[in-house]
Structure 1
Amino acid sequence: MFEHARNVAYHLIDPIHFMAIAACYLPGTIASLLLNLQFRTILTPSALKDAWFARFWEVYGPLNRINATENVRPLITQAKGIVLDIGPGTGEWVSLFDKENITRIYGVEPNVDHHPRLKEKITEAGLQDKYVIVPLGIQDLGEKWVKRGTVDSVVTIQCLCSIPRPREMIEDLYGYIKEGGNWVLYEHVKVKEGRWVGSYQSLINIIWPHFLGGCSLTRDIENWLKVTGSWSKVDLFQPIAEPEYQVIPHLKGVLVK
């Protein structure tokens, strides 16, 4: 009984603790921008948030990779052919791609503060001849980089939480996948209906996006993906190890068009 109560308390406090850690990186970000005379970035809220999150994630991205690799590795190796890698950030997952099955990867990453580290990870993975960084958001992708209906795999690893207009972007990405292509994902999602922890998640989400680069905790990604188009196969599920009181539950799996 005591052990259960302690576990519940830990999961309730964990998001607050994580935001507090992120907040510690803001003063250093501002100091660095001042030293580099990047006053415009400091005075532009969206640019400052991007720089702040990039500084924070440079440290916590690798730690996140350690915790999530068990779930992500068997999924990302299913990416094949021409790949859209959405929101690769600092490239923590790049080394997990199966190079033998990849023709070209387009890494759609609008946050240029992530690009230097992302390039390093691409080189370390030996993918410099196959991986192209696209410095745009999904909404600006168009057909300049890759034509619709020609992508073999879309990969989203913990990024759908922060893209703007998520339902519209999911529909847009669906259009790039060719028949027989797949969508590989590992995302944190909205708590399922009827669970008391959902109300707590919604409360936390009022301030969470301001500390975590625009990330939202309450997106109904599973439903949005299922209704966005016709899938020949849908294999999505929550990791078994996550308890019902998980404030930030995950969804993983593969959809085939």
Structure 2
Amino acid sequence: MLGPLDLIVPPVVLLTAVATLPFTLISHLVTGNISDLTSWPKLRHAWFKHFWWWFGPGSKPLFAASVRPLLAQASGTVLDIGPASGIWMPEFGEAVKNNPGKIKKIYGIEPNTLFHPQLLSQAKANGLEGIYEPVAAYAQDLEGKGIEKGSVDTVITVHVLCSVGDHAETIVKELYEYLKPGGQWLVFEHVASRNAPIKVFQNINNTVWPILLDGCALDHNTESTIRNAGQWDTVAIGPDPKDGYFETLPHTVGRLVK
């Protein structure tokens, strides 16, 4: 919470994304992997990989105080939706180490396969071999990957539902179906500002934000979307208490139980 200085965060992130594009282009030219430069979806995935390679770990300390207690509640069979490079893998490793058997399996649902080598490397480094499995799929395609509806104990979404475009309602309802009765959904997502002047500023930045950040958007009402996904027994989500008035990336955080 930086006060008015929070307003500089979106422009800084956007400039950072722009600065990583030349590195993406050069690395692909050097390695001869030209095919990724001939398709906008492929280029966008490759560009985001290079951006997130350092920005993800660099931004982690800003959110760790909110995310770590959340991830510590994970149990059973877990769907880790959109883990990218796996910056939260140490938290999963710590949970497994401190409470063996609490987490039986973690499926990292990551459609951008460029991140899969990093996920496997992170899993090995954090003692999660045989537990953490990257799955190349979108959330709406899990049945074709051998994951049955009603079989999941924990769904985790951390900074991912901002990137699903206009499909948020459909995807969230689909994920709800994978939870067992009594299963939990752990949420930490940045959302549209609740303050009208800041929301206008968000909307200005959002004209280019999805283009530069692989489809991520600033204006989603993710909290209400998840609340309306299905019948919940317990709903304990709301604004992150660490957010201030000028926060341009405000969050909703918490836990829902089916």
Q: Normalised by the size of structure 1, how large is the TM-score?
A: 0.94
Where 2:196 maps in the other structure, the secondary structure is coil
Q: What's the counterpart of residue 128 of structure 1?
A: 129
The letter of the residue matching 2:172 is: I
1:75 aligns with 2:70: yes
Match of 2:231 in 1: 230
Residues 223 and 238 in structure 2, CA contact (< 8 A), matched pair in contact too: no
Is residue 88 of structure 2 the alignment partner of residue 93 of structure 1? yes
Instruction: List per-residue Cα deviations over 1:40-76 (Å, max 9, x = no partner).
Output: 2101011101101101111111112222111111101
Equivalent position amino acid for 2:254 in 1: G
Secondary structure at the aligned position of 2:175 is classed as: helix
Shift of 1:124: 1.3
Q: What letter corresponds to residue 48 of structure 1 in structure 2?
A: L
* Greater Cα offset, 44-53 or 60-69: 60-69
2:146 counterpart residue number: 145
What do you get for the CA RMSD once the two structures are aligned?
1.5
2:183 is aligned, of 181, 184, 201, to: 181
Identity %: 35
**Distance in 2 between residues matched to 1:166 and 1:140, nearest whole Å:** 14
Aligned residue type for 1:174 = Y
Paired residues in the alignment total 251
In structure 2, runs of 5+ residues without a counterpart are none
Give the match for residue 204 of structure 2: 203
Which letter maps to 1:201? Q
Amino acid at match of 1:16: P
Match of 2:243 in 1: 242
Where structure 1 has 5 or more consecutive residues not aligned to the other structure, the ranges are 1-5
The question of 1:45 aligning with 2:40 is answered yes
Q: Which residue of 2 aligns with 1:109?
A: 110
- Give the match's secondary structure for 1:170: helix
Q: For residue 174 of structure 2, what is the aligned residue in structure 1?
A: 172
Give the Å deviation of 1:127. 0.6
Could you tell me which of 1, 4, 7 is aligned with 2:3?
7
Q: Which one is further off, 124-133 or 194-203?
A: 194-203
Match in the other structure for 1:16: 11
The letter for the 1-side match of 2:182 is G
Closer/same/farther in 2, CA of residues 7 and 140 from structure 1, 3 Å limit: same
Q: Provide the residue aligned with 1:3 in structure 2.
A: none
- How far off its partner does 1:143 sit? 4.8
1:7 deviates by 3.2
TM-score normalised by the chain length of structure 2: 0.93
Partner of 1:212: 213
